Chain A
Amino acid sequence: MMIRLSAKDNAALSAMTHEEPLIAKITVNPNLPNGLRSQSVLIIHEPAAIPDGFGLVLLAFDGEIANAPVNTVRLSNDIRYLKENDVIKFYPAGCKINVLYRKEANVNTFLLTERCNSFCIMCSQPPRDIDDSYLVDDILEALPLIHPETPEIGFSGGETTLIGNDSFTRLIQAAKNHLPNTSLHILSNGRNFNNLDLAIKVSRVQHQDLMIGIPLYADYSQLHDFIVQADGAFDETIRGILNLKRCQVPVEIRVVIHQENYHRLPRLAEFITRNLLFVDHVALMGLEMIGFAKSNQQALWIDPYDYRHELQDAVETMAKAGMKVSIYNTPFCVVPEAIRCHAVKSISDWKNDYLDECSKCSAKQQCGGFFSWNLSKPSLHIQPL
């Protein structure tokens, strides 16, 4: 079921001493040593005496309580799932809480900026031209709080590199310093790596397990440029990929499949094996029906069943060439049997859902299911296995 990562309808139950937003880690331990309390958020699930000194106290129940100490907040129903080790950002002004990190999540993704230099026709997170430079500082503050056993974190946008070369490398460096056992996946349209300097800077960090995911939507410039609504983007992206690989930075190519490009998919696969065989992973992805994909639904939607032949052809071309290929965001039963071994359960748990009929499906464990927002427009060929 879909999980909300932000809530405004929290209620302050006492005076707030914070003037600035607070980024802190959650604990369930009311006996935390005093010295640690001011930087921690205590969460309480049932009525009990509330200890003093915590930076913030969150009540995850509805009952009355007496003498709430300062900085006590009753949590919105939406985010009462919060647990030990999760990290939140609390805005004292509107009593708003953003969930920055959940220890239980399969992947935690940090938004670096909402700004973008492209304008993809199926963008799931339409760009906004705003000053959101505070996001970088938030992440720099949050990274040290993240549990060191976290397997993977992600950076996404907007276009992540637009935060500037220095901030971009500083974030990767911070991820490396604070999370030496965590892999880092960064989404970028790759255009700014057209500048070799940025690629060199990134490679100098020598992050232990980095992957840069770069979308390539077509095998020739005009179609790719149209899909990302930016002239010259194809050349910049290709040169960006070449530069990154020149610096030995791992690169993943990401292809979102829709009405405008599915018919060239086999050609794109050939193009990739001929020209970009050295990339580390190729992800072929179903359309996520949110953002522009939703408003452009009529022009873009195609049932994955209807491009299954193109998908199989593309996957086989690349797999035979020895490339690592995965299919994302596509219901398992719609993927042709011969290439099901490439289907990956990729949808983040907080936006993941299934149809009613999926409950009687024996493949549900292997199946990525649906984006919650795709449930209203599922493939017409869902067939419990």
Chain B
Amino acid sequence: MSPLGKRFKLVDDFNQAENHDYHLLPSRFAGLDDGRYLLSNEVGEYLVVDRSQLESYVKKAVDQDSDFYHDLKSKHFLFDDDSNVAIDLLALKYRTKALRTSQFTSLHLFVVTLRCDYTCQYCQVSRQTDDKHAFDMSEETARKALALVFRSPSPAIKIEFQGGEPLLNFNLIQYVVSEAKKLNETHKRDLQFVITSNLSFLDDTVLAFCQEHGIHLSTSLDGNEALHNSNRPRPGKNSYEITVKGIKNAQRFLGRDKIGALMTTTEKSLSQVRSIIDTYLEHNLDCIFLRPLSPYGFAVKNHQTQKYDIDRWFEFYKEGLDYILEINRQGHHFVEVYTQIILTKLLSPFNTGYVDLQSPSGAAIAAIVYNYDGDVYASDEARMLAEMGDRKFRLGSVHTDSYEDIWLSDVLLDTLESSLSESAPMCHDCGFLPYCGTDPVYHYATQQDVVGHKAFSGFCAKNMKIFKHVIKLLEDPDTKKILTNWVR
């Protein structure tokens, strides 16, 4: 390249870094695969580096004319005397990320009844009974819970109706929606409703109601007919038929974006991920959440089986994700939700509101549960744990406790503080920390300790595997194109 005219100085003249020295900015790393590492900074920007690059970075031996140096500088892993605006920008980015936490609870789960027409084995909470009084939420309880909902400072509020089968207490749902809307006339939040239902009772009245109030539906679909029916037994042995019909009706009357499905992975699912995904495609669903085996099955198992389960589940996830990528390559947009959450954390400056991948823990901060009897729990898992006899994460009751009693309770504050990943052993200097979270209820259930020893943690093992896998997938330009389209 021929040089510039004489009046111009050369690029070397603009390096103000004295003695070619630089300063490290806060960063962490984790092994990625043989000899390679993921290097990430406080706000989640990352580089994949090899061992010698990592060492030369930390030992301040990187050549200042190299692209590697410029990458480290541009992504705020270091700064030199040529420029210190990195500090301002990092502070700003940190603030943007923290915003999500400061907005506080935005997801409020109302367990409107424990009654259910299904008899799923893995379900810890449902009851088969007609006794409405014993297991339904009353209007009084709902009213008190709503008062707490609107104490939350979050500008967006989502109320999710759960069960049991919530449509068995449809009257109360109607009551809560109309009361919430009334309250919102003064509070003016961005208010949304979701009903999580098996759709058995999705009739025209319910559909009309959902349409009128823009309510979203969420259901369970575990896979093909045989798998779904065996996972979700109900007296007529026709749960698949009912669910699929409900999905179709909801799509037709409410719109495709108003109905989503979730799957639960069981032993039987593990060998049939492609068929599960095909079922989702057949029913015009545009995403799937390949969820791990229920952790509350793990609670009773020992560490080795837990790890074994994680390995098998990961193969299931990987095979599924490969298949989904293939579907996208064929020009059909179809998303795996857990991967999408992780991609959003990896590739955008924002945090996601996903409860399980947050630090401080999303428990009670991002989501909170009001049980049918008015008891308040830090998360849905906390409620299930209570059903199994351990009320450790019960925060109080809408009948006896105030907003302050609940959100400033010792249980909650201790849990939040002690489970901060930034202070947890292994997590605090793990390269995946910006994308990971802390799951105190899970760790308590499996290790009787809210922090948990991460070397023994199924949560850690699972997430590490997924992070590594997704980061490696992003190295292929064509796959990256598909995956960046998933980022929200």
Contacts and interface: CB of A to CB of B under 8 A. Distances in A.
- Touch between A and B in complex, CB under 8 Å? yes
Contacts of B14: 221-222, 225-226, 231
Nearest to B488: A322
Contact of A221 (B4, B45, B82, B88): B82
A264 interface: yes
Interface string A307-335: 00000000011001100000000000000
B385 to A, nearest CB: 39
Interface stretch (B67-75, B106-114, B158-166, B431-439): B67-75
A145 B16 CA distance: 49
Contacts of A220: 70, 73-74, 83
B130 to A, nearest CB: 51
B5 A235 contact: no
Interface string B1-22: 1111101111101111000000
Nearest to B477: A313
Interface string A217-232: 0011111011001011
Interface in A291-313: 292, 295-296, 298-299
A235 B84 CA distance: 7
B485 interface: yes
Contacts of A350: none
Given A119-B7, A222-B83, A225-B14, 17 more contacts: A219-B70, A220-B70, A220-B73, A222-B14, A231-B16, A239-B88, A264-B70, A267-B71, A271-B74, A274-B75, A275-B349, A296-B4, A296-B5, A299-B3, A299-B4, A317-B484, A321-B348
A223 B487 CA distance: 30
12 contacts: A119-B7, A219-B70, A221-B14, A222-B70, A232-B16, A238-B85, A242-B92, A274-B43, A274-B45, A292-B5, A296-B4, A321-B348
A271 B43 CA distance: 13
A219 B74 CA distance: 6
Interface in B447-488: 481, 484-485, 487
Contacts of A238: 85, 88-89
B83 A235 contact: yes
Given A226-B14, A320-B485, A267 B4 contact: no
Contacts of A54: none
Contacts of A229: 8-9
Nearest 9 pairs between A and B by C-beta?
A221-B83, A298-B2, A219-B74, A235-B85, A226-B11, A225-B14, A226-B14, A220-B74, A220-B73
A82 to B, nearest CB: 37
B128 to A, nearest CB: 48
Nearest to A223: B11
A299 B1 contact: yes
B12 to A, nearest CB: 9
B93 interface: yes
A53 B83 CA distance: 62
Interface string A266-279: 01001101110100
Interface in A232-279: 232, 234-235, 238-239, 242, 259-260, 264, 267, 270-271, 273-275, 277
Given A229-B9, A299-B3, A223 B348 contact: no
Interface of A, helix, strand, loop or mixed by DSSP: helix
Interface string B73-116: 11100000011110011001100000000000000000000000
A275 B89 contact: yes
Given A219-B74, A299-B2, A274 B92 contact: no
Contacts of A271: 74-75
Contacts of B8: 119, 121, 229, 296
A162 B487 CA distance: 42
Q: How large is the interface on B (under 10, 10 to 19, 20 to 34, 35 or more residues)?
A: 35 or more
Nearest to A221: B83
Contacts, number: 87
B326 to A, nearest CB: 21
Nearest to A317: B484
B4 A234 contact: no
Nearest to B81: A221
A356 B74 CA distance: 43
A320 B487 contact: yes
A222 B73 CA distance: 10
A229 B85 CA distance: 18
A274 B484 contact: no
Nearest to A268: B74
Contact of B93 (A221, A260, A274, A316): A274
A376 B89 CA distance: 42
A219 B85 CA distance: 12
A72 B279 CA distance: 85
Contacts of B74: 219-220, 267, 270-271
A321 B348 CA distance: 7
B5 A225 contact: no
B112 to A, nearest CB: 37
Contacts of B13: 226
Contacts of B3: 299
A316 B4 CA distance: 32
Contacts of A316: 481, 484
A277 B349 contact: yes
Residue in A239, A242, A275, A296 whose Cβ sees the most chain B Cβ within 10 Å: A275
A225 B13 CA distance: 10
A225 B10 contact: no
B349 A273 contact: yes
Contacts of A239: 85, 88
Interface in B36-86: 43, 45, 70-71, 73-75, 82-85
A119 B5 CA distance: 12
A222 B82 CA distance: 7
A242 B88 contact: yes
B474 to A, nearest CB: 13
A270 B348 CA distance: 10
Contacts of A317: 484
A259 B1 contact: yes
A119 B70 CA distance: 23
Contacts of B70: 219-220, 222-223, 264, 267
Contacts of A321: 348
A274 B76 CA distance: 11
A234 B349 contact: no
